[in-house]
Every structure is written in structure tokens, then in C-alpha cells.
């Protein structure tokens, strides 16, 4: 929760892993959500829930969005990155959606009752859906959590085996005068117990994310509003009031909305965080020892968030559920191209010139491309603009620009490229010019060109990841 402040062929699991091949093999292992309940499926795939915001609002939507992943690092947005459900009650929108795989293997989806950024909006309710498989969401309702004149931000739920109930953790301002983490208990997400203070370290905290039973200890990361950072607490019992702060703060600018995820094949834990300075960039950190409370940044080459995603949550899927979600909602009809040596930047057009710019930006569709059969050679590819579909990326005097296809042979050749193994990393991709085969698509001072490639810098400039 921010501080007050063409139906495409769906990718197979093998293809999606190929898209994410920048991740070393030891790290493409399945990841498990730390708070997955005992007995629940723990892979081999994942679903992320989120809402969307973009810098100028062109990609903003306060509905429930879903993306899937096989490695927990590279994500495929579903339904063309459009919402799969939108609340009809309360504020008529949501933030901070959370997916819980319940003990019976079905799902509950919870979300903040808030549309937009009116932080003064008070709601004692959260949005709730039920779902067997996330292809349909049923039983929509709002669930009342308390009677206080305040909000119910960023709900997350967990299974408390000692109680035989689910706990719903959320942020509210209680009589302390600052945000604390509250908890209600439930068995059905229709009726709840009276609220209790789950965690109050004496200062403003929001956005709790839990990992349960790790070496006999329960962990929770939250946003410390005074530090604008993610901080960890731990408890042996899960009991309200039993949490003790222990970790080193983690942040990249102002950071919130932690997600804890663990590799199934190693001791590596990942911590995702959502920044709001600048707004909407997810960063990830890793550690081999959750108990240490220290984290190392993950190279941005290894992960890509869904475009415009904000405040996500991650839940495990079975392989069948992953396949069914892709079949039902569909993978995007477009791609984005990430720079190898500037992985915070994406290929886009601006003023009809080709370049790479840092994510996020608006119009975000400037960075979306349909990779169509090459206009001059169908074995190659051409880059058709999504927001200017009569225009293609082509070279002119070796510079890349977005021009209207005039139907000439010269244009077709200028707009055709051949995919080859990445010159800097064979798991990525480089693009050789069709009519100047000694030249490759690359960036230079962030502008796109076709040039001969000879140095290590040239090779890195000419290497890209095709993803979403």
C-alpha cells in the first residue's frame, strides 16, 4: 500500500523457461511462496496478482491482474495485461491484491477496498473472491474487519495450524495514532473474529508478508514507513504481539509491498519490493539465510515484472493450473525488449526515433512490439508498433526509426532483421540487419542504430531479451 503519498499461441512451459534463460540453471528451479500452507501444492509454477499504474496514468487500472511464471522471476501477463475482475462494491476498485492457496487447494483472493490514491478514504472492508482455479472468480463480496474510522490496507492471509484458522493481516491506524498490523481470524473468509493488534513496534508499519515455519521460526517483512524500507520481524508462535524486529532495512528508493519467495532446490530466499520513488519499479534481493536478516540485490537481468504492475503477491500453481490459466486468459500478443547491459531500459520509440529508456514511462505502449515475419524475408522478423500498427522499426542512414510501411522493397529490407544468439550472452538475442548483414541492431548513447560489432561493449549493446 503506497505511503500517503491476434490470440497468440500460448507459450509452453519449455518456451517460457527459454524466455527466462538469463537465469542460471541453479536459479531456474521452482520457487515456493514462503507462506504456502502445509499440504498445498508448491509448484512447479506461480501466479502473481497485482494492479497497474503508469507515470501519466495511461496504464493505470485498479482491477485484479494476473501473470504466471515458471521460475518466479520472469512473468507472462494474462488477458493482455487487462484485469480479470474488478470490484463492484465499495470504492469500485482495488489495490494490493493477495492470492492465498487454501488448505483444500482452492484459492481466496483478497484486496484493499480503494480505487486510486485517496489515502484519506476509509474502509473497514476488504474485497474477497473465491476461486477453484483462478480461471473464474466467484462469490465476490466485501468482508468487514473492524469498526474503526480508518482503512484496511494490504490484506494478506496465512494458515495458523495451532488455531485451525486463517489469519488475515492488514494495516490500520488504531488508538496508537499510527498504522499497525492488525489480524482477524476466519475459517471461511465470510465471518471473522474481532480484530487484534498483530504487530506494533511503536511506529508506523504497513504491508506484512509472511514466511511460516522456516527452521522453526516464522518471519514477516513489512514496510517501516519512517525508513521507507522493508524490515523483518520474527516470531516462534505466530501469536499477536509476539513479533520482534531483527533485520537490516532493505530498500531501493522508497520501497514497500514485500513478497517473500523461496527456491525449492536451494536455500535461496528472494524478497521482492515495490518502489514508489520512482513509482512502480519492482526490485528483488536474495539471501541464503533468512535468519541472517541481510539481503543482496538480484541483477535486474534475471527478473522482469509485468508491465505497470504494482503491489503484487505470488502464490504457487500446479503445472496443470499454469497451462490452464494460459489457455484460458492467453499470453500477450506483444513483446518487450530489455537491454542486456542496461536492464532497467527497454526498446521503445519516442518521437518516432528508436531508443532504449528506463522503465517505467508513458506511453508505455511505445515499448510494445509485435514480432511479425520479416517483411523482406519471412525467416526474419520485423518490429510492428503496437500503438502505431502501420509503422515498423526500420533503419535509415543506420539509425532506427518508426516509419509507415510504404510497401517498397527498400522499406521491407530496412525493416527486416534476423534473430541470432545474443552476442554478449547466447541465452539472450541479437538482431542482424537483413540488407546490411555485417551490422546489428544496437544502442549507442541510448539511441538505436545498426552498426558493425567488434568490441565487448558493442556486443553488450547489441544484446536483448525478448519478453513481456
Q: Is residue 253 part of a domain?
A: yes
Q: Residue 7 pLDDT more than 60?
A: no
Q: Is residue 280 part of a domain?
A: yes
Q: Do 141 and 236 sit in the same domain of this protein?
A: yes
Residue 317's nearest CA partner among 10, 22, 23, 71 is 71
Q: What is the pLDDT of residues 163-204, one digit of tens each?
A: 999 999 999 999 999 999 999 999 999 999 999 999 999 999
User: According to the 3-state scheme, what is the secondary structure of 265-283?
Assistant: CCCCEEEEEEEECCEEEEE
Q: Do 174 and 213 sit in the same domain of this protein?
A: yes
Q: Do 311 and 406 sit in the same domain of this protein?
A: no
Burial class (CB in 10 A: 0-12, 13-18, 19+), 252: middle
Q: Do 138 and 165 sit in the same domain of this protein?
A: yes
Q: Single out the residue in 331, 361, 380 at which a domain terminates.
A: 331
Q: Is residue 178 part of a domain?
A: yes
Overall number of domains in the chain: 2
What DSSP designation does 374 have? P
Range of the domain at 60: 45-331
Q: Are 348 and 86 in contact (CB under 8 A)?
A: no
Q: What is the CATH number of the domain that holds 350?
A: 2.80.10.50
Q: What is the pLDDT of residues 336-360, one digit of tens each?
A: 999 999 999 999 999 999 999 999 9
Q: What is the pLDDT of residues 95-137, one digit of tens each?
A: 999 999 999 999 999 999 999 999 999 999 999 999 999 999 9
Q: Do 442 and 458 sit in the same domain of this protein?
A: yes
Q: Is residue 118 part of a domain?
A: yes
Q: Do 323 and 265 sit in the same domain of this protein?
A: yes
Q: Do 155 and 73 sit in the same domain of this protein?
A: yes
Q: Is residue 197 part of a domain?
A: yes
Q: Do 344 and 442 sit in the same domain of this protein?
A: yes
**pLDDT band, very low/low/confident/very high, at 282 (cuts 50, 70, 90):** very high
Q: Is residue 190 part of a domain?
A: yes
Q: What is the CATH number of the domain that holds 161?
A: 2.115.10.20
Amino acid at each position: 500500500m503506497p505511503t500517503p503519498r491476434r490470440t497468440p499461441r500460448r507459450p509452453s512451459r519449455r518456451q517460457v523457461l527459454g524466455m527466462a534463460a538469463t537465469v542460471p540453471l541453479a536459479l531456474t528451479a521452482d520457487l515456493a511462496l514462503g507462506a504456502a500452507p502445509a499440504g498445498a501444492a508448491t509448484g512447479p509454477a506461480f501466479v502473481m496478482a497485482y494492479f497497474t499504474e503508469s507515470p501519466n496514468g495511461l496504464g493505470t487500472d485498479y482491477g485484479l491482474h494476473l501473470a504466471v511464471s515458471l521460475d518466479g522471476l520472469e512473468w507472462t501477463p494474462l488477458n493482455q495485461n487487462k484485469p480479470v475482475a474488478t470490484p463492484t462494491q465499495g470504492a469500485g476498485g482495488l489495490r494490493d491484491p493477495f492470492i492465498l492457496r487454501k488448505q483444500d487447494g482452492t484459492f481466496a483472493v483478497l484486496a484493499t477496498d480503494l480505487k486510486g490514491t485517496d489515502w484519506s478514504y476509509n474502509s473497514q472492508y476488504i474485497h474477497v473472491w473465491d476461486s477453484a482455479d483462478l480461471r473464474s472468480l466467484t462469490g465476490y463480496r466485501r468482508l468487514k474487519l473492524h469498526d474503526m474510522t480508518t482503512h484496511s490496507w494490504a490484506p494478506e492471509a496465512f494458515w495458523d495450524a495451532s488455531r485451525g484458522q486463517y489469519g488475515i493481516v492488514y494495516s490500520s491506524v488504531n488508538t496508537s495514532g499510527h498504522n499497525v498490523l492488525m489480524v482477524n481470524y476466519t475459517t471461511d473468509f465470510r465471518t471473522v473474529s474481532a480484530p487484534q493488534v498483530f504487530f506494533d513496534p511503536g511506529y508506523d508499519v504497513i504491508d506484512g508478508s509472511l514466511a511460516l515455519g522456516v527452521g522453526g521460526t516464522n518471519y514477516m517483512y513489512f514496510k517501516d514507513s519512517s525508513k521507507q524500507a522493508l524490515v523483518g520481524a520474527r516470531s516462534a508462535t505466530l501469536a499477536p504481539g509476539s513479533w520482534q524486529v531483527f533485520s537490516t532495512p532493505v530498500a531501493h528508493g522508497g520501497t514497500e509491498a514485500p513478497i517473500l519467495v523461496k527456491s525449492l532446490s536451494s536455500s535461496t530466499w528472494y524478497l521482492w519490493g515495490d518502489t514508489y520513488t520512482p513509482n512502480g519499479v519492482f526490485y528483488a534481493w536474495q539471501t541464503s539465510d533468512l535468519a541472517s536478516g541481510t539481503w543482496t540485490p538480484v541483477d535486474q537481468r534475471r527478473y522482469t515484472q509485468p508491465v505497470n504492475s504494482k503491489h503484487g503477491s505470488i502464490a504457487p500453481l500446479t503445472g496443470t493450473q499454469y497451462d490452464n490459466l494460459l489457455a484460458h486468459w492467453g499470453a500477450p500478443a506483444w513483446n518487450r525488449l530489455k537491454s542486456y547491459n542496461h536492464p532497467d531500459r527497454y526498446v521503445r520509440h519516442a518521437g518516432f526515433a528508436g531508443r532504449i529508456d528506463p522503465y517505467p514511462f508513458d506511453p508505455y505502449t511505445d515499448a510494445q512490439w509485435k514480432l511479425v515475419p520479416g517483411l523482406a524475408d519471412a525467416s526474419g522478423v520485423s518490429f510492428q508498433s503496437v500503438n502505431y500498427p502501420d509503422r515498423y522499426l526500420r533503419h535509415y542512414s543506420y539509425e532506427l526509426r518508426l516509419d509507415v510501411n510504404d510497401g517498397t522493397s527498400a522499406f521491407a529490407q530496412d525493416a527486416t532483421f534476423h534473430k541470432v544468439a545474443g552476442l554478449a550472452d547466447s541465452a539472450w538475442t541479437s538482431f542482424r540487419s537483413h540488407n546490411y548483414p555485417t551490422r546489428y541492431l544496437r544502442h549507442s548513447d541510448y539511441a538505436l542504430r545498426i552498426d558493425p560489432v567488434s568490441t565487448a561493449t558493442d556486443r553488450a549493446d547489441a544484446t536483448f531479451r525478448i519478453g513481456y
